[in-house]
Structure 1
C-alpha cells in the first residue's frame, strides 16, 4: 500500500482533529517503511552476502563488493547471461548513471547497456557507487571486463558530461 504525506495529513486531521505540519507525515512514512523493511544500514551490510548467494546460484554471473571504513562503498552485479547476450547484440555499448537518493544514502547506479537485434536495451551490468566519477567508472569497467564483457573494437557511449569529467583512458577500455 502506498500513501502520500498529504493524504496522511488529511486522514489525521479528519480522524483526530490534529493539524500536522508538512514534514511530520513524511517522517511517519519513513518510520513505517523502516519498520516494514528494516534499517538501510543493516540492509547494506547484507549486500555482500546477497552478491555471494547470487553468484553461487548463477555461476555465469560476476559480482564484486567494496567496503571503505567498515561501511558499504560500492557493489557490482553482472547479468548471468551477459556472456551469451553480448555476442548476439549490436556491436555497441552504452553506459548511464541514475541517482539513488534517500536520507541515509545518496549515490549512483551505473548501468552498462547493449542493444539487441530488435533495438531493445539489454542491461549487462549494474554498479551501486557513491558518485559518477573516474574512480568508480574505472572500477565498473574493470569489473565488466573481469566478468567477460568484451570492449575490444566496440564503441562505448555515455553522457558527454560524464565523458568529459571522467576521461577514461582509451587504453583502459581497449586492451
Structure 2
C-alpha cells in the first residue's frame, strides 16, 4: 500500500478498504488506534493512548463508497515500535509484494526492507518468532522456493490456551505466480480458531508438507530425538 496522508474528503471503494488503510497508517506512523464505531456504514477511530486524535468516515449516499468526513485533534503521544496491527496478514501482504517486485532480493535485504517499511522487528519485539525464506539453489536467477512464518505470540496462544489438537489445511494462491499456502491452526475453549503458523510453497506434495510440519513441530517443541 502506498504511503499517503489521510485527509478529509478522501474516498475508498468500501469500508474494508478504509479499515486496511487505517491499519497501514497505524503501523507506518507508529500510533496504536482503536475502533470506537465499526459498522457497515460508519467507522470512527481514535488513538488508543488517549490523545485527542480522531477520524470518522461513512458511506456516501448509502452506497458502498466510503469517505473521510472529519479528522480532529493531533497525536501528542509517543510513537511505538510495537503494534498489534502488524500481524501475520499485514506482514504477509508486504512480503508478497516485496518479493514479487524484487525477485532477486536476498533474505537480509528482505528483512531490512520489511523493518524499514513497517517499522517493526519481529525478533526484537516478539522474541521467538520464526521467518524462513528459501530460494532454489539450482537456478542462476534467484527464484522463490518456499516461506515459513510464525509469530511467537501465535505459538504461545496455542500452547497456553488451546486444546492439544492441530488442524492443517492448504489452499491455492490465486495470483499470477500460483503456489499453495499451508496453515496450522488450533481451537481454544470457546471454539475460536487460533492461527499457529503458515507457509507458502510452489506446490502441495509430501516433501513440502513434511518440511512445514518439521518447522512447526520444532517451533512448538514437539520434535524428539527421532528427527
TM-score, structure 1 normalization: 0.57
1:95 aligned residue: 168
- Is the Cα contact below 8 Å between 2:126 and 2:153 reproduced in 1? no
Confirm or deny that 1:66 pairs with 2:134. Answer: yes
Q: Give the superposition deviation at 1:137.
A: 0.6
| Among 181, 187, 191, the residue aligned to 1:119 | 191
2:215 aligned residue: 143
Distance 1:146 1:46 in 2: 24
Q: What are structure 1's unaligned runs of at least 5 residues? A: 3-36, 153-171
- Is the Cα contact below 8 Å between 2:130 and 2:150 reproduced in 1? yes
Distance 2:172 2:211 in 1: 18
Confirm or deny that 1:80 pairs with 2:148. Answer: no
Distance 2:143 2:132 in 1: 15
Q: Give the superposition deviation at 1:133.
A: 1.0
Q: CA offsets per residue over residues 67-100 of structure 1, 9 Å max, x none?
A: 1022111110113223422232112111111111
TM-score, structure 2 normalization: 0.45
CA RMSD, aligned part only? 3.3
Distance 1:58 1:91 in 2: 23
Q: CA offsets per residue over residues 116-164 of structure 1, 9 Å max, x none?
A: 1100111100001111111111110111122225379xxxxxxxxxxxx
Distance 1:126 1:63 in 2: 10
Structure with more relative contact order (C-alpha pairs < 8 Å, separation 6 or more): 1
When you count helix as a share of all residues, which structure comes out higher? Answer: 1
Confirm or deny that 1:42 pairs with 2:115. Answer: no
- Is the Cα contact below 8 Å between 1:107 and 1:128 reproduced in 2? yes
Q: Secondary structure at the match of 2:123?
A: helix
Q: Give the superposition deviation at 1:115.
A: 0.5
- Is the Cα contact below 8 Å between 2:99 and 2:105 reproduced in 1? no
Number of aligned positions between the proteins: 121
1:7 aligned residue: none
Q: What are structure 2's unaligned runs of at least 5 residues? A: 1-11, 14-96
Distance 2:216 2:196 in 1: 9
Distance 1:146 1:80 in 2: 12
